[in-house]
Amino acid sequence: MESRATRIGFGIAAALVLAFLWIPILIILAYAFNGSILQTWPVQNLTLHWFREAWHDQEVRSALWLSVKIGLISTAVALVLGTAASFAISRFQFFGRESVSFLLLLPIALPGIITGMALSSFYTFAGIGFSIWTIVIGHATFCVVVVYNNVLARLRRTSPSLIEASMDLGADGWQTFRFVVWPVLSTALVAGGLLAFALSFDEVIVTTFTAGAQTTLPIWILDTIQRGQQLPVVNAVVFFVVVLTVIPVIVSQRLTQDSGLLRRR
């Protein structure tokens, strides 16, 4: 439909933006092989030393494991709460509905430093000691929003008459859920869950206020950057994480693309 010139123009612009997005990442990946500790350009005497170092580093392992745990728990919490909220908001009209939907967006719309500071003074106020759960609560606030948004968008595109039809045909709530709602929702849940996990996994600002003596992976990275001693190890770890996440990202992408069945186009 677009003219040839438009298409070429958009193609070139898109390629340039992608280059902007990816050149720094390629540089990071290249620095994982840098022989020198100081990060100066260009990369010098290539080595695999840092991967070995990262692999054997106990701190890296425990930080990675803690981040994975927090990410999984926060995502699980977000999936439950976010789905429930999106159902309520999309299906029903009730007093205060607008305010609730506005409220749900707050954690992602308000700057992280405010969420972090507010939670940290709340914990102090309530005498709650720092633990993995204080971090999870902090992360869940914005993870819920992500799932909520994804599920809500999917529900908006699905006609409510599908559920009514299922009920009319004699299905109970569980059957309706299993055979009508779940197929529609599952891909949105995967997409929302993955994004929620990614956000939690990479979160620094809220975490600095809610972690106490615990070290998540981003906090370990921040500390290491500040120490300036082991930068290539950080790059090696990042390299590892990126490679590890290619698969789930591709899978989720596949899943979310195949939802054409119920699309209204």
Site for another protein in 180-209 (CB under 8 A): 195, 198-199, 201-202, 204-205, 209
Please, are residues 236 and 32 in contact by the beta-carbon 8 Å criterion? Answer: yes
Q: What angle do CA 37, 38, 43 make, to 5 degrees?
A: 85
Q: Is the CB of 48 or the CB of 80 nearer to another protein?
A: 80
Asked whether 185 and 83 are in contact (CB, 8 A), the reply is: yes
Structure tokens at 200: 């939690």
Q: Is 101 one of the binding residues for another protein (CB under 8 A)?
A: yes
Choose one: 46-54, 68-76, 89-97, 180-188; the region binding another protein (CB under 8 A): 89-97
Nearest residue (CB) to another protein, 48 versus 148: 148
Confirm or reject binding of residue 240 to another protein (CB under 8 A): no
Query: Footprint of another protein on residues 109-148 (CB under 8 A)?
Result: 109-115, 117-130, 137, 140-141, 144
Positions in 13-42 near another protein (CB under 8 A):
13-14, 17-18, 20-22, 24-25, 27-28, 31, 36-42
Which amino acid is it at 195?
Answer: L
Q: Binding residue for another protein (CB under 8 A) from 66, 71, 107, 259?
A: 107
* Crossing angle between the packed helical segments 132-157 and 112-126, to the nearest 10 degrees: 130
As a whole number of angstroms, the distance between CA 142 and CA 240 comes to 26
Count interface residues toward another protein (CB under 8 A): 118
Give least dist CB 247 to another protein, A: 10
Please work out, in degrees rounded to the nearest 5, the angle formed at the alpha carbon of residue 73 by the alpha carbons of 67 and 74.
Answer: 85
